[in-house]
Chains A and B, each alone.
Chain A
Amino acid sequence: MMRLYDYVLSPSCYKVRLMAALAGVSLELRPVDFHPGAEHRGPELLSLNPAGSLPILVDGDLVLTESSAILVYLAGKAASQWLGRASPVDAAREQQWLSFSSRLTTSLGSARLHEMLLRPGDIGALQAAGIAALRELEAGLVEQRLQGRAFLVANAPTVADIACFPYVALAPDGGISLDPYPAIRLWSRALRALPGFIEMPGIHRLHELKPEPLLEPGVV
């Protein structure tokens, strides 16, 4: 079984858990004491990943330490419909958003770590960079909607959506409101409604909606 070096509060680790759940892949979780223990900076984990970051995915001899690469690997192995490979444009769009997702990590993610776990940083600059990235994502999603596509690459979700979703959904943890971004909220809702969706602290599941009263069986 693939082994994920995991931290329950890490949005990047959650990307991997979420993709695995959506793709129906079982993972062996190896919890890492990121906070307060800083185990990711200890010798055992640094020998696996010199960057000192999480997640780390180990599958046999293969060691992956970049979350986007891990998402592509999981989808490629078990759910290839999650790869935007229908056309050169789709493939390029997917790469575009996968790369873009690292900007979310360094802005929204760092703001969140600063506000929540007291990590150092210039909070004003981090929040400003986060808001700039959210506006770009909002504009991208609006463009997609105008073309009849609900997700970042196509009208079905891809690894690019999973790569961007967690840090965006947790932006309020870093003191950044999502109120100004209706397209992002619709997109977030569409992702949370996917069969097999799992949550993490700060990202709540959708409440199950009661059926429309007039559509209930026996009521005409």
Chain B
Amino acid sequence: MTDDTASAQAMTDEWYPVGLISQLDKTGRQTALMGEPIVVAHDADGQALVTGHNGRRLPVKLRYGHVWSSLGTPKKDIFAIPEADQPGRRFVDVGVVRVRCSPLRAVENFLDIAHFPFVHTDVLGAEPHTEVLNYTAEIRPDVDEVWATEVKFYQPQASKSASGGITTEYMYRVPAPTCSVLYKTCPPRPTEWDVITLFVQPLAEDLCDVWPWMALFDDETAMTDLIHFQQMIFLQDRSILENQVPRLLPLDPGMEIPTRADLTSIAYRRWLKRHNYTYGAQLVAR
């Protein structure tokens, strides 16, 4: 197997979000997965059905509010989010947003905290509290996932349920090449973590549909407010993502000079390279 086919295969065999379970219908959502046109619908019995090129049936799973599919043969189940089964949480389907950027760049941006005061001003960050304190980033060999822990940041309005500024704690996790799970201080329940995910559907190497999803402890806030808070945050990122250069995520260390705040990003890129997860990446500096 050449390197090219190995890298094509590595990401082909992964699960990707392709729609909301709540929006499945008979007509179907015409969309794409890594360049292949697909249709996401339900059949006469109400079963989710994902159809690829020439009507071939693709694998389907329903999890975390979304329909998941794959162009290849996934070797593993979809990654676990144990909090999704925890009683008392509210699950928020934030809805799709299309972004003209590499799916890997969408994930990398989600892992970054240094931009909070400048892009999410007065919400997730504010000047002069711009310092990213030291934290730990690693590729955990037992689960083969990227983790960042002990991340702390001062936030004027950490979530819809936060009143006033707090120092928020974060943990980040990358369990699949285009999916990230964020654990964040839960203002109404300090012993638990709020779960905020970014599920990214790669349409092409430089185009993706992003499906944020949340599992929160918050009995007060109206569902629409929770959706709008997350959409507001993500749309602040969108215009930045669409202007990043180069469009593909550079995996060649010669391209950029990272700083200490970029530890998670470095671990993510290293992990992508190790697994040949290179759809949407640029391997050689140009």
Q: Which residues of chain A have a CB within 8 Å of any CB of chain B?
A: 7-9, 31-33, 35-37, 39, 115-118, 172-173, 175, 201-202, 205
Q: Is B53 an interface residue (CB 8 A)?
A: no
Q: Is B239 an interface residue (CB 8 A)?
A: yes
Residues of chain B within 8 A (CB-CB) of A33 are 223-224, 227
Residues of chain B within 8 A (CB-CB) of A172 are 239, 242
Residues of chain B within 8 A (CB-CB) of A175 are 100
CA distance A117 to B209 in the complex (A): 9
Inter-subunit contact A7/B228 (CB<8 Å): yes
Inter-subunit contact B98/A36 (CB<8 Å): no
Q: Is B95 an interface residue (CB 8 A)?
A: yes
Chain B contact residues (Cβ within 8 angstroms of A): what range? Answer: 20 to 34
Q: Name the contact of A36 in the complex, choosing from B93, B225, B235 (C-beta under 8 A).
A: B93
Q: Is B23 an interface residue (CB 8 A)?
A: yes
Task: Known contacts A36-B20, A37-B224; decide if A202 and B236 are in contact (CB<8 Å).
Answer: yes
CB distance from A167 to the nearest CB of B (A): 15
CA distance A173 to B95 in the complex (A): 17
Residues of chain A within 8 A (CB-CB) of B242 are 172
Inter-subunit contact A31/B231 (CB<8 Å): no
Inter-subunit contact B93/A201 (CB<8 Å): no
6 contacts between A and B (CB under 8 A): A32-B224, A116-B97, A172-B239, A201-B234, A201-B236, A201-B238
Contact with A along B91-104 (1 / 0, CB 8 A): 00111111010000
Which positions 1-54 of chain B face chain A at CB distance < 8 Å?
20, 22-23
CA distance A31 to B231 in the complex (A): 12
Nearest neighbor of B233 in chain A, beta-carbon distance? A201
Inter-subunit contact B96/A118 (CB<8 Å): yes
Q: Name the contact of A31 in the complex, choosing from B97, B222, B233, B239 (C-beta under 8 A).
A: B222
Contact with A along B62-98 (1 / 0, CB 8 A): 0000000000000000000000000000000111111
Task: Known contacts A31-B224, A201-B232, A205-B121; decide if A36 and B95 are in contact (CB<8 Å).
Answer: yes
Residues of chain B within 8 A (CB-CB) of A202 are 235-236, 238-239
Task: Known contacts A117-B97, A172-B239, A202-B238; decide if A8 and B231 are in contact (CB<8 Å).
Answer: yes
Q: Name the contact of B232 in the complex, choosing from A9, A39, A118 (C-beta under 8 A).
A: A9
Nearest neighbor of B99 in chain A, beta-carbon distance? A116
Inter-subunit contact A31/B228 (CB<8 Å): yes
Residues of chain B within 8 A (CB-CB) of A8 are 228, 231-232
Contact with A along B201-240 (1 / 0, CB 8 A): 0000000010000000000001111011001111110110
Contact with A along B152-188 (1 / 0, CB 8 A): 0000000000000000000000000000000000000
CB distance from A13 to the nearest CB of B (A): 11
CA distance A169 to B96 in the complex (A): 22
Residues of chain B within 8 A (CB-CB) of A35 are 95, 231
Inter-subunit contact A116/B222 (CB<8 Å): no
CA distance A37 to B226 in the complex (A): 13
CB distance from B109 to the nearest CB of A (A): 14
Q: Name the contact of B23 in the complex, choosing from A31, A36, A39, A201 (C-beta under 8 A).
A: A36
Inter-subunit contact A173/B224 (CB<8 Å): no
Residues of chain A within 8 A (CB-CB) of B227 are 33, 36-37
